[in-house]
Structure 1
Amino acid sequence: MADTCTLHILHTNDVHSRFSSMPHIASCLRQHRDRWEALGEHVLTVDIGDHADRMDVRTEATWGQLNVEVLNRSGYQYVTIGNNEGITLPKARLDALYERAGFTVVLGNMVDADTGKVPRWAVTQAIHEWEDLRVGILGVTAPFVQFYQLLGWETKAPFELLREQIAALRSSVDLVILLSHLGYPEDCRLAQEIEGVDIILGAHTHHQLAHGERVKETLIAQTGMLGTNVGHIRLVWDREAHKVQEASAELFPSTEYPADPDLSAYLAQEQKNTERLLERTAVRLSVELSNSWTEETSFGSALAASLRQWTQAEVGLANNGLLLTPLSGEVSYGDLLRCLPHPINPCAVSLTGEQLSRVLMQSIQPQVIQRELRGFGFRGKVTGWMGIDGLQVWYEAGEQPRIARIEVNGELIDSQRCYRVGTIDMFMFNRLFPDLAEGTQIHYYLPELLREILAQTLNDEALLTAAQKPRWLNLARS
């Protein structure tokens, strides 16, 4: 037996259902695996979560099971989950997601709230063994504690857990690899604070590390997003010295590999099949709901009213930028998906009248309306005009708009009084409106996404009729 052996790790992260990348990724994985294994070298293929994204019709219609089949057909061996798998799927759907997985899900920091046990579809750790090498594999995901609790899961703080897992595992393996959907800053902190991890394969923050980054004795790697790259780690293990002799990281652009014809054909057929599944009528509209990102619309008002109704709040707020297409007539579930592809949930927050006034004032500033948004679940382009419900606002437009009067359900706003506001969870994270994020008694509503809520509320004729009446009153037009 040779004194050294070579391990290759091919990894992806945050593909977000960009299925057009997967036939290229599948070719990349297969081509390199065949070549390296023919040389007697070892290969692992892993994904670090957020492979599924419900904005894609094939993921939406199959509750992510098509993603699992694509991972199977591409030859993955180990995965962990991201927040898109963990908190955009109802508990029963996540429990069923990996029933047909041909790979192992490694996830150490999540348990079923009812049983206190690891989900039946996951293991807390894995050991992959060859004759001359033993590799321990751990996995953790970002602990969105409150969201997971509302869905029936409990998440654990990852650092102390990993410290215990590594201490128990280290003596029985040669290498420890962590599949981390915590994000790049947390990966760096983890490498600083916890010894014994040779490789951290990262995700969540969409960092693209061309040649990895070494923090103390740990090599950190991440590939970006949307399947643009396949990451490659090459390790040479010295068996006699019992240490890593060489370690390097690089990225393979996925489009440099030919699309796998079988996977391409499968995905094309499933596109047709899943589109048919979502052709079912969700709602029949008696009015047309058109939208504009730059001015008040009845659609924006209807969305705000839907959030207010769903959260049983006094006021509803929702930015028009969430609405990507108009709706009219018979609206299918596919139409709702195209209009609202975001994995965004409702939430309720308590604001003082003073805070609410500042939010409304900020919302009509041109730079806010036109601001481009990225991340935090948003799948649109700009913030757009703020749709409101339970409010009437008199304002003056212009380069520096100002508000003259605000009424809440027919009464002049009281700066000292607390109001319950129904809005979207995105505002709690992106701090576009600081007063919203700093409100009190924040409550999130899961598992329904915005489009699932509209499938119910748009059947309410009274809500639609009321949404036709302007809530923003431009004094210059009076």
Structure 2
Amino acid sequence: MKKITIWHTNDVHSQFEDFSAIVRYIREHINFEKDFLLDAGDFCDQKSVMINGTHGVGGIELLKSAGYDAMAIGNNEFFAGMEYLEEMTNQNFPLLSANLFRLNKEPISGVLPFITLKRNGIRVLIIGISPYWGESPESTAFTDMCGMKLLEPTPLVQKILEQEKGNYDISILLSHGGIKKDREIAETVNGLDCIIGGHSHTEMDEAEHINGTWIHQSGCWAKYLGKLTLEVDDDYHVVSASGENIVVEKEKDPQIESVMAQQTEIAIAELSKVLYVLPQDLEFSIEHECMAMNVLADMMWKTYPSDLALINHGILSKGIAKEVTKLNLLEVSPSPLNPTTLVWSGKQIKDAIFVSQKEEYIHMTPNRWA
């Protein structure tokens, strides 16, 4: 009997202070000669100054510093577009996705569908996938805008398992597809040993077993460090598995803190460059009509053909300074929300405006809908 230990994270979403504590725990407990360390995507969230200002490269540097073996490409890794993604894939670190391509279905430079690693005498195939939302125009609109195409991952995973047969002993799917898709793949695909999941932020106290495939996921925001342990016989069959999500002490890792400081300095220098100068500061108020919101609404109306443009005050947190920088804009509005075109009746518009004047909505707390 041999034991394979897979340490894993997913959906860190740039919560790097908590990630730093996880790395400290990893360094104290992992055996880098035998164990595997994987991330299932959405590590780099554009809300972070460091991520935004380094085009995601700062996040890859953190993973490299921590000793990770690979990461699946999540939606947050490609939301900023092809240029940012290719900068990340050019950092000598395995970014995996078997179902993410250019719009013409050509490969994206540096994106790997899979890698094979050998540890403790066992060859392990690691396949990556990104989230798949379907083929309808509504489902593909955002990836089309990013210049990318997502394909249904299930047949691609099966194809890789079959074409690489004889080159590996154990197979892992590093998935940013979400728990529903992971279960579907486990039911459908033959010969897959385990799935390390992400995207759905699912906290799994134990590993789930479906059709011979073990599934585990560790929530989100670096709240947990996932650990999946496989027991493998001499014929490389997984005979049992156990999964757990570990809460670590909040003691930070000095090396990660140093990398964060270096990359944040690079990011701030880049984001602080003045883009343009306005005639005046754009003042902001959460309670009444203000210059900042009027300018944004006017610009939406001029940019996207429509009868009128509406924007909610919650999109901003403060006014826009006269000297506009990317750093200022990121601090003012870190939200990734996108403009949307709707067909509304006059009554619906009137109702929306009246509702927006109610005190309960003006002062709504962040957990209102929790």
CA contact (8 A) 2:21 2:249 kept: yes
Q: Which amino acid aligns with 2:112?
A: V
Q: 1:137 aligns with which of 92, 106, 126?
A: 126
Alpha carbons of 1:272 and 1:129: their partners in 2 closer, same or farther (altered >3 Å)?
closer
Q: Deviations over 1:221-276 (max 9, x none)?
A: 21122222211111111014x421221111222435x4222221232243334223
Alpha carbons of 1:295 and 1:166: their partners in 2 closer, same or farther (altered >3 Å)?
farther
Alpha carbons of 1:352 and 1:194: their partners in 2 closer, same or farther (altered >3 Å)?
farther
Matched, 1:264 2:257: yes
Aligned position for 1:90? 81
Matched, 1:156 2:147: no
Aligned position for 1:406? none
Aligned position for 1:113? 103
Q: How many residue pairs end up in the alignment?
A: 363
Secondary structure of 2:309's aligned partner: strand
Matched, 1:146 2:141: yes
User: For the residues of structure 1 that align with 2:9 and 2:43, how far apart are their CA atoms?
Assistant: 9
Matched, 1:62 2:51: no
CA contact (8 A) 1:5 1:132 kept: no
| 1:369 to partner: Cα distance | 4.7
CA contact (8 A) 1:12 1:47 kept: yes
| 1:108 to partner: Cα distance | 0.5
Alpha carbons of 1:360 and 1:218: their partners in 2 closer, same or farther (altered >3 Å)?
farther
Aligned position for 2:305? 312
Alpha carbons of 1:26 and 1:294: their partners in 2 closer, same or farther (altered >3 Å)?
same
Aligned position for 1:31? 28
| 1:186 to partner: Cα distance | 2.1
User: For the residues of structure 2 that align with 1:168 and 1:372, how far apart are their CA atoms?
Assistant: 52
| 1:11 to partner: Cα distance | 0.8
TM-score (norm 1): 0.69
Matched, 1:250 2:239: no
Q: Which amino acid aligns with 2:55?
A: W
User: For the residues of structure 2 that align with 1:278 and 1:265, how far apart are their CA atoms?
Assistant: 20
Q: Deviations over 1:270-307 (max 9, x none)?
A: 33342233222234344443333344333222222222
Secondary structure of 1:321's aligned partner: helix
Matched, 1:45 2:37: yes
CA contact (8 A) 2:94 2:112 kept: yes
Q: Which amino acid aligns with 2:86?
A: D
CA contact (8 A) 2:72 2:176 kept: yes
| 1:220 to partner: Cα distance | 1.8
**Correspondence list, 1:187-336, <5 A:** 187-240=182-235, 242-255=236-249, 258-336=251-329
Aligned position for 1:15? 12
User: For the residues of structure 2 that align with 1:167 and 1:366, how far apart are their CA atoms?
Assistant: 60
Which stretch of the first structure deviates more once superposed, 283-292 or 336-345?
283-292
User: For the residues of structure 2 that align with 1:255 and 1:131, how far apart are their CA atoms?
Assistant: 29
User: For the residues of structure 2 that align with 1:219 and 1:353, how far apart are their CA atoms?
Assistant: 53
CA contact (8 A) 1:142 1:182 kept: yes
Alpha carbons of 1:45 and 1:279: their partners in 2 closer, same or farther (altered >3 Å)?
same
Aligned position for 1:339? 332
Alpha carbons of 1:197 and 1:296: their partners in 2 closer, same or farther (altered >3 Å)?
farther
User: For the residues of structure 1 that align with 2:358 and 2:195, how far apart are their CA atoms?
Assistant: 43
Which stretch of the first structure deviates more once superposed, 281-290 or 6-15?
281-290
Alpha carbons of 1:230 and 1:372: their partners in 2 closer, same or farther (altered >3 Å)?
same
User: For the residues of structure 1 that align with 2:52 and 2:119, how far apart are their CA atoms?
Assistant: 38
User: For the residues of structure 2 that align with 1:357 and 1:108, how far apart are their CA atoms?
Assistant: 47
CA contact (8 A) 1:109 1:156 kept: yes
Q: Deviations over 1:343-373 (max 9, x none)?
A: 2332334445455455445545555555556
CA contact (8 A) 2:285 2:318 kept: no
User: For the residues of structure 1 that align with 2:228 and 2:169, how far apart are their CA atoms?
Assistant: 16
User: For the residues of structure 1 that align with 2:312 and 2:21, how far apart are their CA atoms?
Assistant: 37
| 1:318 to partner: Cα distance | 1.4
Alpha carbons of 1:354 and 1:161: their partners in 2 closer, same or farther (altered >3 Å)?
farther
| 1:187 to partner: Cα distance | 1.9
Cα RMSD (Å) of the superposition?
2.6
Secondary structure of 1:255's aligned partner: coil
User: For the residues of structure 2 that align with 1:127 and 1:277, how far apart are their CA atoms?
Assistant: 37
| 1:10 to partner: Cα distance | 0.9
Aligned position for 1:6? 3
Secondary structure of 1:6's aligned partner: strand
Aligned position for 1:389? none
Which stretch of the first structure deviates more once superposed, 160-169 or 337-346?
160-169
Q: Which amino acid aligns with 1:26?
A: V
Q: Which amino acid aligns with 1:59?
A: I
TM-score (norm 2): 0.88
| Relative contact order, higher structure (CA 8 A, sep 6+) | 2
CA contact (8 A) 1:311 1:347 kept: no
Aligned position for 1:183? 178
Structure with greater Cα Rg: 1
Q: Which amino acid aligns with 2:57?
A: Q
Alpha carbons of 1:182 and 1:365: their partners in 2 closer, same or farther (altered >3 Å)?
farther
Alpha carbons of 1:30 and 1:320: their partners in 2 closer, same or farther (altered >3 Å)?
same
CA contact (8 A) 2:207 2:241 kept: no
CA contact (8 A) 1:200 1:219 kept: yes
Q: 2:90 aligns with which of 89, 99, 104?
A: 99
